[in-house]
Amino acid sequence: MSKKQAMTVVVGLGKTGWSCVEFFVARWVRCAVMDTRSEPPNRQALFDQYPDVPLSDLSKAALLSAHEVVVSPGVSLPSAWVVELMAAGVSVVSDID
């Protein structure tokens, strides 16, 4: 992923992450999903309904190259990796934003 691709990364595939994916896909926004869980909720639904939306583990390199990162409520904004993204100039928002 490069900034030229303007990829939005959704972190977490629970209820909020799933809602964000649906929002972005409906608006033709390129997005990917990252989750720390090997079997996150909505995993099968993502594969079935949106096979072009990739799902992967958290990747620092991919997050740093994202246009925007949308974090789910379960992600602590003061987490070191979130602070690092913001310091690098990556837009980090919540679903409410």
Confirm if 71 and 93 have CB atoms less than 8 A apart: yes
pLDDT of residue 97: 66
Instruction: Assign 5 a pLDDT band (cuts: 50, 70, 90).
Output: low
User: Mean pLDDT in the chain?
Assistant: 90
Distance, in Å, from the CA atom of 97 to the CA atom of 89, rounded to the nearest integer, reads: 17
Within 8 A by CB and 6+ apart from 23, the residues are: none
Token reading at 60: 């620092």
Q: Give tens-digit pLDDT for 27-48.
A: 999 999 999 999 999 999 999 9
Confirm if 31 and 7 have CB atoms less than 8 A apart: yes
For residue 16, CA distances in Å to 1, 42, 68 come to: 23, 11, 16
| SS3 of residue 61 by DSSP | helix
